[in-house]
Amino acid sequence: MDARKDRIGEHAASHPPAWTAAALGPVPPDPAVGADAELRRRHRGQYFAPLRSAEPEAATDAQRDELTLTADQPSGELGHWISDLTAGHQVFASRLADRQSQMIPSEDPDYGDLGPAFPGRTAPGREPVLRPPKPAIPPSPRILERAMNGDADWEAAD
């Protein structure tokens, strides 16, 4: 029995990726796909909508043709694209403003708010990094004596 265990251990050591895949199952190429598979495995009776990409839909050929400007085509025909982008930006800006205006309430209603719930990123300060001066370490008397005598044996040769 011990010889069989030794052979299995030798095989596992000589083929680590194959042994790992056999023992743990194949590793999915995408972590989201792996997480989805694990969720479905743990909750077999529950329905989950299939995964879909967060990327926007690809533009159709007609939409690409609208974006291609020619010399005889006025740029006013792109007005609906620009208005859609502007509307999307306004929605985003209003949602961002709502989020930035939320405050953390205090437990004491008379005290007031504690501050913003979602503080914005602040730019790093442009102040210099202040470092204390290096401490003055007096040299040893032996070093002072050698410096006074002019011993050159400690210095590199030219």
Helix axes 2-14, 16-24, angle to 10 degrees: 110
Please answer whether residues 67 and 78 qualify as being in contact, where contact means their C-beta atoms are separated by less than 8 angstroms: yes
d(CA 106, CA 77): 53
Residues in a beta bridge with 113: 105
pLDDT reading at 110 higher than 50: yes
Mean of the pLDDT values across residues 68-75?
69
Q: Per residue in 23-47, pLDDT tens?
A: 556 655 677 788 888 888 899 999 9
Report field, pTM of the whole predicted structure over 0.75: no
